[in-house]
Chain A
Amino acid sequence: MAIFEGRRRGDNPELPPGQHLTESFPVLSAGPTPSIETADWEFFIHTETGQAHRWNWDQFIALPSEDITVDIHCVTSWSKLGTSWKGVSLDTLFAEVETSSDFVMAHSYGGYTTNLALEEVLDGRAWIAYEYDGGELEPEHGGPARLLVPHLYFWKSAKWVRGLVMQDEDNPGFWEQYGYNMHGDPWQEERYS
C-alpha cells in the first residue's frame, strides 16, 4: 500500500480547512472573458422599490477608494495570501441607498450572477475592485471592475460586475444553482450545498 506523506507546510493558521497555497492566480470562469470598455461601463444598484443608483466609470473612480490587502480562497482549494487591491467600499456605494431587503444578487457582464446577504457586503467587508497588485485589473481577472468579498469563497467575488439587485429572498445565483453553497464561508468549508 502506498503511503501518502504530503508536503508538510506546517499548520498555517491563515489557511482555511482543505485549502492549499498558490503563488499564481488561477482563473475560473464559465465562459469567454467579456471585453468591456470603461467608456461603456456602468455600475448600478437596484432596490425593491424600483429605485436605481448608477455610476459611470468616471463617477465611480472619483469615489473614495481604499487599498485592500486580503487573503483569497477559491472553492477549488487554492488560496492566495496577501493579495493587494484598490477599490470602492460597498459602504460608500450603499450610502444613499434605502432598502429593506436583506439579500442582493450580483450581476455581471456576460450574464454571471451570485447571491449574497446584504450584511455580508457591508461594514467594510466588500468592495468593487478596479486595481490588482498596483496595476489595472486584467479582463481575465474580472476587469475593468469586480466584486471583492474576500471572506467568502472567491466565486462570490463576481468578475465583470455591473450591478447589484436587492432581493427579499436569498435566490440562488449561477454556481449556487449548480450545487455550490448559498453562503460559501471557507472557514466553515461551505463549498457545496
Chain B
Amino acid sequence: MTSPAPGWFTGRLTRAHLLTAYARSLTFSVPGWPGHEAGQHVDVRLTAPDGYQAVRSYSIASAGPGEEIELAIDRLPDGEVSPFLVDDLELGDTVELRGPLGGWFVWRPELTQPVQLIAGGSGVVPLVAMTRAHAQAGSRVPMQLLYSLRMPDDAWYREELSRPSATARITWHYTRTVPPGWSRSAGRLTAEDLERETLPPEGKPLIYICGPTGFVETVSHALTTLGHAPDTIRTERFGGT
C-alpha cells in the first residue's frame, strides 16, 4: 500500500492474539497517529484488489500516547469486515485508519468524579481503555467495572482486569453460564444486581455503559430509576434492535 488517502492513516499489524475463540486483539503501528483519549474509536477501511472498499468503526482498547493502537474485534457471524480482521489479517499487513473519533464517550484522568463502567459483551473494549488510562495516570479516583458476559469463556482481557495490581475493581456477571461455585445463578442484570454491584447515586459517579442496544437500554433505565441523574450516564451502543 502506498501513502494513505487524505484523512487516513496507514496502520501496519504488528501484534495480534486471540482473546476468545471468536475475538482477536490487533495492535497496529500507525505513523503520524496523533494520539487519542480513552473511549474513542476509529474507522477501519479495507480495499479489495479491484478497488472495492468497506469501512467499519471499532473502539480503541489501548490508552496513552504513541503511534500504536490496539483494537479488539468480535467476529460477527454475518460480518463482512470482522471475519477478515479476526481470521485473515496477517502480521505486516496494512489497513487504513481514520480517527480518533468521538469525544463524548471518553474518560480523561483530570475528571474527579468516581467512575462506574458497565460492559455488556464486547462493549468492554472502550472501558478497558479507560481502566488502562486510569492505571497509567495513577489516578486516585475510584473506578470500577461491572462486566456482563454470557459465560466465563467469553471474557476478554480477564487476566489483565483481574490482576491484583489493577486499579479498577472488577465485578463479573454471567447471563447464561456461571463458573463452578459462583454465588449467583446465571441471568440478565437486574436492578438489584446494579444496586449491589455499582457505585451508589449519592457519590454522583460518572457512568459509562457500552454494549448491545438492549443491554444499554435496560441498564441505563435501571440506573436512572435507582436515582442516577441522566446527565451522569454516557452510553455507547451497537447492534440492531
The residues of A with any CB-CB pair to B shorter than 8 Å are 1-8, 18, 20, 22-34, 76-77, 110-111, 140-141, 174-175, 177-179, 192
Q: Closest residue of chain A to B240, judged by CB?
A: A24
A2-B230 contact given A27-B241, A179-B103, CB 8 Å threshold:
no
B21 is an interface residue with CB less than 8 A from chain A: no
Q: Chain B residues near A25 (CB, 8 Å)?
A: 240-241
The residues of B with any CB-CB pair to A shorter than 8 Å are 7, 43, 45-49, 52-57, 80, 84, 88-90, 92-93, 98, 101-105, 213, 217, 220-221, 223-224, 230-231, 233-235, 237-241
Q: Chain A residues near B90 (CB, 8 Å)?
A: 1-2
Q: How far apart sit A31 and B102, CA to CA, in the bound complex (Å)?
A: 14
A77 adjacent to B102 (CB under 8 Å): no
Interface of B is mostly: mixed
B84 adjacent to A33 (CB under 8 Å): no
A111-B231 contact given A23-B240, A25-B241, A33-B217, CB 8 Å threshold:
yes
Residue picked from B103, B221, B230, B238, most chain A C-beta under 10 Å: B230
A26 adjacent to B213 (CB under 8 Å): yes
A27 adjacent to B46 (CB under 8 Å): no
B52 adjacent to A33 (CB under 8 Å): no
Q: Chain B residues near A6 (CB, 8 Å)?
A: 46, 48, 52-54, 80
Q: Shortest beta-carbon distance, B32 to chain A, in Å? A: 17
Contacting A24 at CB < 8 Å: which of B7, B93, B221, B241? B241
A26-B103 contact given A4-B46, A20-B80, A140-B217, CB 8 Å threshold:
no
A32-B233 contact given A1-B93, A4-B84, A179-B101, CB 8 Å threshold:
yes
